[in-house]
Amino acid sequence: MAVYDTVGGLLAHALHSQVALHADYGGVVPELASRDHVRKLLPLIDAVRAEASGGPPDGIAYTAGPGLVGALLVGASVAAGLGMAWDVPVVAVHHMEGHLLSPMLEDDPPAFPFVALLVSGGHTLLVEVAGVGRYRILGASVDDAVGEAFDKTANLLGLGYPGGPALAALAESGDPDRYRFPRPMTDRPGLDFSFSGLKTAVLHAVRDAGPNEPLSSLSSPSPESRVPGPDLLADIARGFEEAVVETLAVKCARALDTTGAGRLVVAGGVGANRRLRARLRTLADERGAGLYFPRPAFCTDNGAMIAHVGALRLGEGTPPPAPATVRARWPLDELRAPRET
């Protein structure tokens, strides 16, 4: 939840995390997620509006998709209700467009055009961005998203939910040279990704390493994995992280070459990964390209990025009154620039 002002910028924002709620289940439980949204949304809106002060906003943005339909409907219904009560327009925002434009919330925003690497739990996309709503998908994952690969690999290593940050933390103490996992689809042309094979390579490494010291400090591993001791686990985690980071870097370099763009934007949950940020910094510096990240808290899901897109789109003209629509699936390249819609 956030209040964004086109002149003053971000006035207030807050996040209610459901990580603890879902942790026991090892992943998001859709019904629990939407029920928790119902409980938490209105108090969060009150708190953020109090912090931002001022009267009702000029418009309300909500996430209309893609995502879990039950959770989306809670936000859509509340947005529609508030829109009616305050007699202000309601803007349906694409979740990935929120991520895509989130670096613009920072002090040094990127100018158009740029290439964006979007790496979240559900999507891995390389996008050529000419302006708001002017998106050309250059490449996407043909199987698992990067975040999903982090989460599944973390599970294989016996780490809890959410796996990405836990795996990254474990990798810190790992040896980068002990395991060299494949860099999928980097040896052939194109900008698509594939991460499911990498996960299998990790599974084999775990099995080959065999059981070792007891893993008393880690949560119970998934049944099919006979997990080796903590040192080996850290080495495997580091090898996995290196492979992902290198694969993403190769594709980013190729996307900059293909488009001739001089700016690279990175967003989405995996954009919070420290090693990925450092590797792409080196890549950008080597080429004299601009590199733009949101702060880590705005890489992972947040309300500020949705309020920001809502304000941009509202600034281009009032959208027609819409029912509280949501879309579980919604290809990013169906979006149009505000003046075209």
Residues that bind ligand KG4 (CB under 6 A): 120-122, 147, 150-151, 162-165, 168, 268-270, 272-273, 300-301
Q: Can residue 302 be called a binding residue for Zn ion (CB under 5 A)?
A: no
Which partner from the list Zn ion, ligand KG4, none does 168 bind, CB cut-off 5 to 8 Å by kind? ligand KG4
- Counting other chains too, the contacts that 122-129 makes at CB distance below 8 Å and 24 or more residues apart are 122/66, 122/67, 122/147, 122/148, 123/96, 123/268, 124/193, 124/195, 125/96, 125/332, 126/191, 126/251, 126/252, 126/255, 127/100, 127/332, 128/255, 128/259, 128/261, 129/100, 129/265
Q: Can residue 120 be called a binding residue for Zn ion (CB under 5 A)?
A: yes
Q: What is the DSSP letter of 187?
A: S
Residue nearest to ligand KG4 (CB): 269
Cβ proximity to ligand KG4, 165 vs 290, nearer residue? 165
Cβ proximity to Zn ion, 148 vs 301, nearer residue? 301
Minimum separation from the CB atom of position 305 to Zn ion (A): 9
Cβ proximity to ligand KG4, 89 vs 129, nearer residue? 129
Minimum separation from the CB atom of position 95 to ligand KG4 (A): 6
Cα dihedral sign, 210-211-213-219? positive
Structure tokens at 23: 């942790």
Minimum separation from the CB atom of position 65 to Zn ion (A): 12
Q: Can residue 148 be called a binding residue for Zn ion (CB under 5 A)?
A: no
Minimum separation from the CB atom of position 310 to ligand KG4 (A): 17
Residue 148 CA to residue 139 CA, distance in Å, equals 17
Q: Can residue 301 be called a binding residue for Zn ion (CB under 5 A)?
A: yes
> CA 332 → CA 109, 126, 208, 247, 307, distances in Å?
21, 11, 41, 23, 18
In DSSP terms, which residues pair with 193 in a beta bridge? 141
Minimum separation from the CB atom of position 210 to ligand KG4 (A): 27
Residue with tokens 């290439």: 115
- Residue 104 amino acid letter: M
- Is residue 106 within 8 Å of residue 292, measured between CB atoms? yes
Identify residues 233-262 at the interface with Zn ion (CB under 5 A).
none
Q: Can residue 151 be called a binding residue for Zn ion (CB under 5 A)?
A: no
Minimum separation from the CB atom of position 272 to ligand KG4 (A): 4
Cβ proximity to ligand KG4, 155 vs 259, nearer residue? 155
Cβ proximity to ligand KG4, 188 vs 329, nearer residue? 329
What phi and psi values does residue 131 have, to the nearest 5 degrees? 175, -175
Cβ proximity to ligand KG4, 122 vs 197, nearer residue? 122
Q: Which residues are at the interface with Zn ion (CB under 5 A)? A: 120, 301
